[in-house]
Structure formats: structure tokens, C-alpha cells
Amino acid sequence: MRSHDGRGGLRGERGSVAAELAVALPAALLALMLGVGALSAAATQVSLQDAAADAARLIGRGESTSRVAGVVSTAVDGASSVSHATGDLVCVTASVDLRVGRIISVPLRASSCALAGGL
């Protein structure tokens, strides 16, 4: 039989809400941080892809690799770029290691190609 505490509750369940909150709150905060980190990674990936496309077009038009590297690093803080020519195409690969919190590092990479001597 269960004993009542006189207020309509059970004596054996006293403090259970606090214990459940102590377990659930860190899990909810972790899920929130991972969600924000995923959105940040997605936004950075889009910016990195745009920067790689711009860089490929600039190299295709004959711009210097130092200017291209500046465009990529300005678009995405800390990003680097590598370019190479394949036939009539000039391709650029931009990459960055995105830090989510202090312990998670996500490598992001984007590539784009443009016609050499392009318009």
C-alpha cells in the first residue's frame, strides 16, 4: 500500500520532479547546442561553396592566386583554398575546420570549377 502525505501526493515520490529536471535539463541543452552547431555548419558550408565558385571564376579570368585566397578567407574566416587546372576547367577546393563548442571540429570542404579564360 502507498502512503499519502496529506496533501494528495505520495511520500515516496517527494523530490522526483527535481531529480527528473536534473537529468533532463543537460540533455535538452546538449540537443539545443547540437542543433545550433548543425545550423552553423550548414550556413558555413553554403558560404564556403559560394566562395569556391567565386574563386574558380576569378582564376578562370586570370586573377592571381593570392587574390583568390583572399576572397576565400574573407568569405569564410580561416578558410584556405587550393586550385588546379583540368583541361579547359580551373577548379578550386575551399576548406575550413569548423569548431562547434570546444571539443568538436567538423571539416568542411567545397569545390567548384569554371572555364579557363572564361567570361
What does the pLDDT look like over 66-106, one tens digit per residue? 888 899 999 999 999 999 998 899 999 999 998 877 788 88
What is the rounded CA–CA span in Å between residue 95 and residue 84? 15
* Residue-wise pLDDT tens digits, 38-55: 898 999 999 999 999 999
Task: Calculate what percentage of the chain has a pLDDT beyond 90.
Answer: 47
Residue 54 has a pLDDT of 94
**Spatial distance between the Cα atoms of 42 and 52, rounded to a whole number of angstroms:** 15
Digit-coded pLDDT (tens) for 21-34: 888 889 899 889 88
0.85 surpassed by pTM: no
Distance CA 76, CA 47 (A): 7
Flag whether pLDDT at 11 surpasses 80: no
d(CA 18, CA 89): 63
